[in-house]
Amino acid sequence: MIHSATLTLQPALPAVADHNRLRLFSGSANVALSQEVSRYLGIDLGPMVRKRFADGELYIQIQESIRGCDVYLLQPTCHPVNDNLMELLIMIDACRRASARQITAVIPYYGYARADRKTAGRESITAKLVANLITEAGATRILAMDLHSAQIQGYFDIPFDHVYGSPVILDYLASKNLPDLVVVSPDVGGVARARAFAKKLDDAPLAIIDKRRQAHNVAEVMNVIGDVRGKTAVLVDDMIDTGGTIAEGARLLRSEGARQVYACATHAVFSPPAIERLSSGLFEEVIVTNTIPVPEENRFPQLTMLTVANLLGETIWRVHEDSSVSSMFR
């Protein structure tokens, strides 16, 4: 089930305001979302040539004057992450060399975010490395949605606007009037996210799944902390990658007596074998947003996709007009 319904927002300022200095360009990672954002803002996506040389090198040229303009480049660094990250860096460099006044990298999904600290010797902190690359390329501001960990904002020495997809998901859940809700964090690290989510669902009770991770993308679930028997359990996470964590969590919740299980996440990474796990009958519904495009072959009956275009568009507008962004989430 694919939904286009989204959070309804009123523009912070009248639509007749001057757009002359605002430019929006789209990378190739999520053109559909960029088109929705452009419609919300009432401006066209900027013209750009994107092609590859025979050896795979990427070439980008901005095809209109952006001298003195505030440029917003929309590009999630999703699969293929290395190609999409490199495309973003080249777009930023092209705009810098075209004398844009400000360059904001709008990154609905920030890849390489899971390695955000050293947990063993001789590891790379890729979240910081990517921050350095984007900054050195010439970005003057970052706008990202639902970072894997909020501390990544501190890896940048330029302004950073961190926005959340939860209002869109919360609006959708509220419209369903689900009975006896309990919000469940799939691991201890997501407790703060789940607690904030539960608070906005009329202070719904909170449960936590205690797990032991054996290796990357492999999770062993141990037990549930909290009461889920006879309740509608809503698992909340920032992303679903291979689906192992959330599927094992749902299986445990079922065994503990949960009547229904819903999964909610902002980013639908959906690496194999996520589709098989999510469509196996463990969930009544899997609710995600369109920060990452999901191809038709990866869609299944329990999937609901919500658009964050209005949320991103309103944030871009407020940043451009120097209005408050945080007030959108109060």
User: Mind telling me the catalytic residues?
Assistant: 211
| Sign of the dihedral through C-alpha 286, 288, 290, 292 | negative
DSSP letters, 278-318, are HTSSS-SEEEEETTS---GGG--TTEEEEB-HHHHHHHHHH
Rounded Cα gap, residues 73 and 140, in angstroms: 11
CA dist 148 to 144, 151, 200, Å? 11, 9, 20
For residue 231, give the amino acid letter: K
DSSP-derived 3-state class of residue 209: strand
Rounded Cα gap, residues 211 and 209, in angstroms: 6
Distance from the Cα of residue 96 to its chain's centroid = 26
Distance from the Cα of residue 199 to its chain's centroid = 21
